């Protein structure tokens, strides 16, 4: 009952309730490293499942061959095949050991590739037209290689050197990477309250510093722009830039790396459409603060 009376006293009869305002936080670029965080967890679980095996399959195969030669065992496997007449023949085959497709190498390369693209996204801004051009270029190169492979068998010559790549790490390494990133996320989440913006129907508040220093700006004739400087960052966390143009201020207020920028834009439009001037008595002010 007291809350109903308070809300009815704070807004005129028949008028919609007052907008409570919105808070806008800006984040550092490291927030976009969350795909590496997820990949590290997946690789840690995968390495645990395979028994944390980090040995090179080729070295294991060579040691097995040495043991067989020392014990004078056969180093080849026997495969029984049947021809069209039903006759069986025994074929001796030495299957090559492929370390590139081994589980430990797949996890290692997966982590490196995701980490590389994560750093690339954080280092360079990719506008919309740039990313479209890169996609078209990658598709053109892929079709060109497939066309060359018909005549010159190019793909086989490219796949061969991949067998020389062997990158591996144990489960503890991936776990420590995930823990380090998680601790950074926790620090960012807590420290974001040291510098944030609060948009109210009648004013803009800038809270910053360890002792909550406060700056006030008017919202009269406020204009704002939404920008998407990096389409990949927008794809990861719907991140963008808000530019606030405050009346009688020489410089615009630029807020970079605002997450979920579309929802912030919609909320800001609603708030700006509800700008209001209220004259309250001492009794109403005391009732609102109670």
pLDDT(181) > 90: yes
pLDDT band at 183 (very low <50, low <70, confident <90, very high): very high
Q: Give the residue, 108 or 65, on which the prediction is more confident.
A: 108
Average pLDDT over residues 177-191: 94
pLDDT in the model for residue 249: 77
Q: What is the pTM of this model?
A: 0.69
Buried-state track 63-92, b at ≥16 Cβ within 10 A, e below 16: eeeeeeeeeeeeeeeeeeeeeeeeeeeeee
Question: Do 107 and 47 contact (CB within 8 A), yes or no?
Answer: yes
pLDDT (0 to 100) of residue 17: 53
3-state helix, strand, coil in the chain (%, to 5): 50, 15, 30
What pLDDT sits at residue 149? 66
**Would you say 57 and 99 are in contact if contact means Cβ atoms under 8 Å apart?**
yes
Give the Cα separation of 140 and 24 in Å (integer): 42
- Show the tokens assigned to 243: 């530019």
Domains and CATH numbers, the chain: 20-31+191-278 (2.30.29), 38-73+99-189 (no CATH)
Distance of CA 268 to the CA centre of its chain: 25
Is the per-residue pLDDT at 3 higher than 90? Answer: no
pLDDT value for 111: 94
Instruction: Classify each residue of 194-227 as buried b or exposed e, where b means 16 or more C-beta atoms within 10 Å of its C-beta.
Output: eeebebbbeebebeeeeeeeeeebebeebebeee
Task: Name, in order, each residue with C-beta under 8 angstroms of 106's C-beta and a sequence gap of 6 or more.
Answer: none
More confident residue, 13 or 200: 200
Query: Among the listed ranges 2-16, 65-79, 116-130, which one has the minimum average pLDDT value?
Result: 2-16
Quick one: which of 96, 107, 98 has its CA closest to 56? Answer: 98
Residue 90 has a pLDDT of: 47
Whether residue 102 is predicted with pLDDT greater than 90 in this model: the reply is: no
pLDDT per residue over 125-172, tens digit each?
A: 888 777 777 787 888 877 776 666 666 766 666 666 777 778 888 999
Judged against a pLDDT cut of 70, whether residue 275 lies above it is answered with: no
C-alpha distances (whole Å) from 170 to each of 43, 48, 52, 63, 114 are 9, 8, 6, 22, 17
Q: Is 246 or 289 the better-scoring residue by pLDDT?
A: 246
Q: Which of 9-18, 25-34, 66-75, 162-171 has the lowest mean pLDDT?
A: 9-18
Q: What's the confidence (pLDDT) of residue 177?
A: 95
User: Is the confidence at residue 92, as pLDDT, over 50?
Assistant: no
Q: At what angle do helices 34-49 and 103-123 cross, to 10 degrees?
A: 170
User: In whole numbers, what is the pLDDT of the chain averaged over residues?
Assistant: 76
Confidence label for 104 from pLDDT (cuts 50, 70 and 90)? confident
> What are the pLDDT digits (tens) for 214-273?
888 887 778 888 888 888 888 888 898 888 888 777 888 888 889 999 888 888 888 777
Phi, psi for residue 202 in degrees, rounded to 5: -115, -10
Helices marked H in 11-153: 34-49, 57-70, 103-123, 128-152
- The pLDDT score that the predictor gives to residue 86 is 55
Distance (Å) of CA 107 to CA 135, 148, 244: 25, 31, 45
CA-based end-to-end distance of the chain: 14
State residue 274's pLDDT score.
62
């Amino acid at each position: 009952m007291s809350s109903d009376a308070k809300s009815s006293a704070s807004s005129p009869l028949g008028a919609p309730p007052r907008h409570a305002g919105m808070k806008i936080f800006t984040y550092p670029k490291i927030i976009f490293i969350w795909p590496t965080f997820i990949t590290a967890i997946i690789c840690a679980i995968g390495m645990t499942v395979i028994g944390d095996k980090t040995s090179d399959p080729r070295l294991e195969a060579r040691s097995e061959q040495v043991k067989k030669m020392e014990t004078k065992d056969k180093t080849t496997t026997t495969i029984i095949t049947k021809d069209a007449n039903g006759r069986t023949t025994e074929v001796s085959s030495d299957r090559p050991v492929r370390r590139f497709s081994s589980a430990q190498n797949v996890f290692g390369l997966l982590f490196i590739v995701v980490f590389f693209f994560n750093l690339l996204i954080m280092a360079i801004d990719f506008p919309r037209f740039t990313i479209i051009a890169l996609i078209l270029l990658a598709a053109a190169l892929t079709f060109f290689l497939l066309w060359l492979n018909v005549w010159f068998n190019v793909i086989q010559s490219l796949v061969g050197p991949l067998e020389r790549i062997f990158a591996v790490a144990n489960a503890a390494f991936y776990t420590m990477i995930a823990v380090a990133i998680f601790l950074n996320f926790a620090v960012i989440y807590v420290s974001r309250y040291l510098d944030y913006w609060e948009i109210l129907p009648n004013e803009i508040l800038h809270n910053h510093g360890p002792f909550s220093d406060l700056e006030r700006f008017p919202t009269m004739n406020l204009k704002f722009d939404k920008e998407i400087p990096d389409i990949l960052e927008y794809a990861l966390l719907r991140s963008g830039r808000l530019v606030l143009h405050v009346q009688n201020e020489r410089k615009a207020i630029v807020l970079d790396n605002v997450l979920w920028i579309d929802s912030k834009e919609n909320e800001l439009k609603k708030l700006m459409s509800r700008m209001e001037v209220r004259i309250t008595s001492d009794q109403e002010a005391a009732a609102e603060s109670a």
